[in-house]
Structure 1
Amino acid sequence: MDQLDRFNRRYNFFSKLSAALFYSIAVAIALNFFWTPGHMYSSGITGFAQLINSVSERFFPFTISTSLMYFVLNVPLFILGWTKIGHKFTFFTIIAVVLGSIMMRVIQPLEVHWDPLLCAIFGGTINGIGTGFALKNGISTGGLDIVGIVFRMKTGTSYGKFNILVNLVIIAAAGFVFGWTRALYSALTIFINGRVIDAIYTQHKKMQVMIITEHPQSIIDGIQNKMHRGITIIHDAEGAYSHTEKTVLITIIDRYDMYDIRQIIEHADPYAFVSVSEVEKVYGRFKEQEIV
């Protein structure tokens, strides 16, 4: 058992480290291959770092690099993550941010003149894939990821939607610096980035499962023992076709739990009727998966 625990810890460590490295390469490619040549801003801290870089180029006698500001702006948010989310989570966040800063320097910008629409689409998609993959592996990419996770823990609001809302300032800045056409492309890349993140990072998505069954106790035991979810039980339901007595079970789960609950239901009652719908927000007592 001790050897298995050591293997699991080692595997978990390298999977998170790989996710951090993958993100750092993705954000560097998005920034230097698409956003910088396309004269548009990213979302979150990366976008603010780009904005400070643009302002320093125009108005200061020296230039502050995007990679440096990306790290500096994340430092106070490391403290927020350390105190509000978890030490292990923040440790890998620091690794992801440091690697991202390094890759932004190592992977040099391309001197190309691609269509800005192409830059917006590919930049948002590549960065969204990297960010979503990192979040799915239990680490953050810093900046608004940390704020978004804390915000989601308090309110249950989707991370991607939060990310889009708080970036209106960056879009306005893009309009003043590069013109309002480029602001439109910045808005597009931010929107794509948020949607791709939501498509990959599904932990925050909640599903309502309604089960109509003649064998409720076996399903209830399976859900409570394996998934530790609350269940609402409605007795004395009747099927209109067979006129047999049935029980309705209603529960809220994470999207990650879908496979487990299907296996429980199929094992307990393969003839159960199951309806699944996505939940916009959950109020009341609901146990979130812990981030460590």
Structure 2
Amino acid sequence: MFTDIDRMMRRHSNLSKLTMAFFYAIAVSVALNFFWTPGKIYSSGITGAAQVIASITAKSPIPITTPILYFGLNIPLFILAWFKIGHHFTFFTFVAVLLSTIMMHLMPSIHITFDPIICAIFGGLINGFGTGMALKNDISTGGLDIIGIVLRKKTGRSMGTINIFFNLIIIAAAGFVFGWVHALYSAIGIFINGQVIDMVYTSHQKLQVMIVTNQPKLVVNEIQRSMRRGITIVHDAEGAFKHEEKTILFTIISRYEMHDLEEAMRASDPYAFVSITESFKILGHFYEPKVE
């Protein structure tokens, strides 16, 4: 019975990932064909690199389109993901990149607006949202997402920050080849893209939680039942208002687990005092679900 349930859950998870891969393919194609290409805006990461190379080779005897370059440049990153991240992850990344390549070809280029700033903003918003949703469902959109995930495991830096850092190269290339005005617009779009990724893909953002409670055993058991988090317990604290004995609990969670924490507190001690602050850097062991 449990085997059947596990099989059904895996099928549901795989279907969700395939759906999200198709959603990203539509998002990046809309961003590219409706905003970036008409506005002469260069995207982030591998997509932006593909755009730059395609523009350079446009007048050559054998021009290469952005979708073909996008797929070709991702091939070595598939190999990196296969060995450094996981086979399951790499498969769905390949599907997302393949679907994106097809949709970029099939979706017609439409001039919605001639304002390059609007093109940069909306292109960044749409692509950032699609990328963030894909990452949130444990699949990658290829390119810098793969490099970002590998480096995040070693450095702890956010996905959007890593994305912006590497994209400075794209901005410089766009400036030297096509002019610094379009490089500036591209930088705006890339920055917005990175910020939206960080807003949507929240599992890498760490929060420090301080809980003051007189029901420490209930709180600890409920948090560890619903969330895989270590907890530091400080006994013999005293509340200044009624001079009651309290216990202080400290733990670190991801922003993605905020709802789980709130549910755990409601179930264990709804009257506890809880303070949550952003954690700039974590040293030592912090459990993160393994990407397969």
TM-score when normalising by structure 1 = 0.96
Contact between 1:39 and 1:178, CA under 8 Å: does it hold in 2?
A: no
Work out the CA distance in 2 between the residues paired with 1:65 and 1:76.
19
Contact between 2:46 and 2:74, CA under 8 Å: does it hold in 1?
A: yes
Contact between 2:235 and 2:246, CA under 8 Å: does it hold in 1?
A: yes
Work out the CA distance in 2 between the residues paired with 1:176 and 1:186.
13
Work out the CA distance in 2 between the residues paired with 1:19 and 1:113.
28
State yes or no: 1:33 paired with 2:34. yes
One-letter amino acid of the counterpart of residue 11, structure 2: R
3-state secondary structure, aligned to 1:233: strand
Residue 8 of structure 1 deviates from its aligned partner by 1.2
Partner of 1:12: 13
Partner of 1:284: 284
3-state secondary structure, aligned to 1:62: coil
Work out the CA distance in 2 between the residues paired with 1:261 and 1:133.
22
Q: How does 1:176-215 map to 2 (within 5 A)?
A: 176-215=176-215
Over residues 17-76 of structure 1, what are the superposed CA-to-partner deviations in whole Å (9 max), with x where a residue is unaligned?
A: 010001011111101110111111000000000011011124x32211110110111001
Partner of 2:66: 66
Q: How does 1:141-290 map to 2 (within 5 A)?
A: 141-290=141-290
Q: How does 1:112-131 map to 2 (within 5 A)?
A: 114-131=114-131
One-letter amino acid of the counterpart of residue 5, structure 1: D
Residue 270 of structure 1 deviates from its aligned partner by 1.8
TM-score when normalising by structure 2 = 0.96
One-letter amino acid of the counterpart of residue 199, structure 2: A
Partner of 1:57: 58
3-state secondary structure, aligned to 1:167: helix
Residue 256 of structure 1 deviates from its aligned partner by 2.2
Residue 90 of structure 1 deviates from its aligned partner by 0.5
After superposition, the CA RMSD in angstroms is 1.3
Stretches of structure 2 that go unaligned for 5 or more consecutive residues are none
Partner of 1:78: 78
3-state secondary structure, aligned to 1:289: coil
Residue 4 of structure 1 deviates from its aligned partner by 2.1
Contact between 1:210 and 1:248, CA under 8 Å: does it hold in 2?
A: yes
1:113/1:269 CA distance change after superposition, 3 Å: closer
Partner of 2:106: 106
Partner of 1:42: 43
Work out the CA distance in 1 between the residues paired with 2:132 and 2:194.
9
Work out the CA distance in 1 between the residues paired with 2:269 and 2:14.
39
Residue 113 of structure 1 deviates from its aligned partner by 5.3
Work out the CA distance in 1 between the residues paired with 2:64 and 2:208.
48
Work out the CA distance in 1 between the residues paired with 2:132 and 2:267.
33
Over residues 159-195 of structure 1, what are the superposed CA-to-partner deviations in whole Å (9 max), with x where a residue is unaligned?
A: 0011011100111111122211111100000001001
Work out the CA distance in 2 between the residues paired with 1:231 and 1:9.
31
Percent identical pairs in the alignment equals 59
Contact between 1:174 and 1:183, CA under 8 Å: does it hold in 2?
A: yes
Work out the CA distance in 1 between the residues paired with 2:185 and 2:167.
13
Work out the CA distance in 1 between the residues paired with 2:247 and 2:222.
16
Partner of 1:21: 22
Residue 112 of structure 1 deviates from its aligned partner by 5.9
Work out the CA distance in 2 between the residues paired with 1:100 and 1:238.
58
Work out the CA distance in 2 between the residues paired with 1:46 and 1:90.
18
3-state secondary structure, aligned to 1:182: helix
Contact between 2:236 and 2:245, CA under 8 Å: does it hold in 1?
A: yes
Work out the CA distance in 2 between the residues paired with 1:112 and 1:274.
48
Work out the CA distance in 2 between the residues paired with 1:169 and 1:20.
27
One-letter amino acid of the counterpart of residue 226, structure 1: S
Residue 248 of structure 1 deviates from its aligned partner by 0.7
